Amino acid sequence: METKEKELQNAEKEEQIETKEKSDMKIEEKSEEVKTEETKESIENILKQKEEEIKIWKERALRYAAEVENLKKMFKREKEEYYKFALESVFKELLNSIDNLERALDAFEESQNIEALKEGVYLSLKVLMQTLEKYGLKQFSPEIGEAFHPHYHEALSTETHPEIPNGGIVKVYQKGYKLHDRVIRPALVAVSIGKQEESKQEEKDVTESK
């Protein structure tokens, strides 16, 4: 009898334990479901937040791209405007030289005075060169006898000369010009081939004539 009661008690305990385990499992399952729902909700919120951030950055990128394009157009207009009127101040100062030359021509027509015309042209040229020098343009003319330098001079011809050695300048056809330190037009010159070259040339000419 006692044995049966114990068995019943044990069975009840086991049933209670099993019921409790099932109840705990259900609680855990519900807890997991709640956690899963919370995780999904959290992920959705994060995704929405990221989508909003992406939208904001896209709008900013489009706005910045539009601003950059506008800046490019503005810089292009300013650059064109600058190149169009960059020499305005130079031309303004050159107008005085033009006025002086016109006045010199008018004076010549009235008086036919060659000396007055010459003086007027000389003064106008002087003012013109002073204006150009102010902006970095310098005129240069090699000395007779100076050594030929290909960077500053351009030889148009060669000539024999009794005093100037081979490679020396014997004649200047046209003056040269430098803009700051850059040669923009070399001086046009004639270069000596010297006495020795002259005699050789004469001998060659005699030989060819025979």
Query: Per residue in 159-185, pLDDT tens?
Result: 998 899 999 999 999 999 999 989 999
Going from the C-alpha of 151 to that of each of 47, 62, 105, 182, the distances in angstroms are 71, 54, 38, 10
pLDDT in tens, 70-107: 999 999 988 888 878 888 888 888 888 888 888 888 87
Phi, psi of 206 (to 5 degrees): -65, -45
CA atoms within 13 Å, Cβ hemisphere of 4: 1
Beta-bridged to residue 159, according to DSSP, are: 192
pLDDT at 206 over 50: no
Residue 110 lies in a domain: no
Comparison of pLDDT for 112 and 96, the residue scoring more: 96
Comparison of pLDDT for 41 and 88, the residue scoring more: 88
Residue 157 in contact with residue 169, Cβ under 8 Å? no
Residue 194 lies in a domain: yes
Whole-number pLDDT of residue 198: 47
Residue 99 lies in a domain: no
Structure tokens at 131: 């204006």
* Closest-CA residue to 155 (of 110, 189, 104, 198): 189
Token pair 């050159």: residue: 94
| Domain with 182 in it | 136-210
Residue 46 lies in a domain: no
Residue 120 lies in a domain: no
Comparison of pLDDT for 146 and 106, the residue scoring more: 146
Residue 187 lies in a domain: yes
pLDDT at 59 over 70: yes
Residue 75 lies in a domain: no
CATH code of 196's domain: 2.30.22.10
Q: What's the structural domain count of the chain? A: 1
Look up the pTM and report it. Answer: 0.56
Residue 197 lies in a domain: yes
Whole-number pLDDT of residue 43: 82
